[in-house]
Amino acid sequence: MFVVAYDPFDPKGSINIRWDVVSWTSDGYVAAVTISNNQMYRPVTSPGLTLGWTWAKKEVIWSMAGAQATDQGYCSKFKGNIPHSCSKIPSVVDLPPTVPYNQRFSDCCKGGVLESLGQDPSAAVSAFQLSVGHSGTSNKTVRPPKNFFLLGPGPGYTCSAATIVPPSVSYSADGLRKTRAMNHMCPIRVHWHVKANYRAYWRVRIAVANFKYRMNYTQWTLVAQHPNLNKLANVSSFFYKPLIHYNTNDTGMFYGIKNLNNLLMEAGTDGHVESELILQKNTKEFTLKQGWAFPLMIYFNGDECKMPLPDIYPSLPNFTNSNPIPSSTLATLLLSALLLVFFSSRH
């Protein structure tokens, strides 16, 4: 979808809105929405953008990360679990930069302000994630939103109709068979498996799986952001290098050991690598409750991964009295802590 206004000095200038369905839920789906300012010299200034649309059916927004709806709407028919918004025509605004980490999403929280593409491409993009309910649970039953609009400084923008993009298609090795992408559309999957939770330490296993056939990843890198990486005590099977920025040691790069696991093989029995971390707890900076056991951001080979919504992360106690977490609980945490990796298309 494009927001356009012809400018002879910037004939290709537009604001693009991409609505990516990244996973299915019991009554709907999770979508990542990206707003890109492709205007070469026109920034979007304060008070920033407001994005709105009309639902095609009776959809609701269960939860959001990186943005919020300005009106909850009429949710009186819901008992117990109340949606974030029941409005037929929701309006969504970006969150300010000061919001807590567990409410964030990649490229969010700029207060709706976007730089121009010519000035700073990385700051010309904003994104948020939302969980949509009562919408259908397949490509055949889901209907895309319609009548998108963008309000901002000045008169705002008029949007074109949304365009549905066909699924990605690749060919088999013999060139005769077309194969559609997997349902979850993940070329790479990262497991963040909380294995043990002690009083002073906790242990995590990171496993990276390659779902691509006929493609290896040589000299791969994995970047993770977590507030407890400043107390990383041990890393096995991977090399680790902290990426300290603005005197903050919460981000680091993991990469393979030469001739051992620096080559991530194509999909199959050898198409995975893994490591275990031991982290010393720092209760003054964070706790393991409310999703803090899991990373804030993940990058694979420089591509940003789309994270699940924070409210689906399992909660953990700060420590166990004597023993580590039981193995049955750990199995549940492994399934709950899947990082679905969706690479944004580069055009």
- Given this model, what pLDDT does residue 317 score? 55
Six token digits for residue 315: 């909660």
- Given this model, what pLDDT does residue 183 score? 53
- Given this model, what pLDDT does residue 346 score? 36
Alpha-carbon distances, residue 181 vs 63, 95, 167, 213 (angstroms): 27, 33, 7, 11
Six token digits for residue 209: 């799986």
Nearest to 115 by CA among 67, 17, 48: 48
- Given this model, what pLDDT does residue 277 score? 95
State the burial class of residue 223 (Cβ atoms within 10 Å of its Cβ: 0-12, 13-18, 19+). buried
Domains 2-158 and 188-340 belong to one CATH topology: yes
- Given this model, what pLDDT does residue 340 score? 39
Report the alpha-carbon distance of residue 81 to residue 61 in Å, rounded: 12
- Given this model, what pLDDT does residue 171 score? 47
The fraction of the chain above a pLDDT of 90, given in percent, is 39
* 238-266 as b/e: b if 16+ CB within 10 A: bebeeeeeeeeebbbebbbeeeebbebee
Arithmetic mean of pLDDT over the chain? 80
Minimum mean pLDDT range among 46-50, 85-89, 187-191 = 187-191
Q: What is the mean pLDDT of residues 52-80?
A: 94
Alpha-carbon distances, residue 59 vs 116, 193, 294, 337, 338 (angstroms): 33, 33, 29, 26, 26
Q: What's the DSSP call for residue 109?
A: -
State the burial class of residue 29 (Cβ atoms within 10 Å of its Cβ: 0-12, 13-18, 19+). buried
What topology is assigned to 188-340 in CATH?
Immunoglobulin-like (2.60.40)
Domain boundaries, the chain: 2-158, 188-340
What topology is assigned to 2-158 in CATH?
Immunoglobulin-like (2.60.40)
Q: Summarize pLDDT for 298-332 with one digit per residue, the tens.
A: 888 887 777 777 666 666 655 554 444 443 333 33
- Given this model, what pLDDT does residue 48 score? 92
The pLDDT of residue 337 is above 50: no
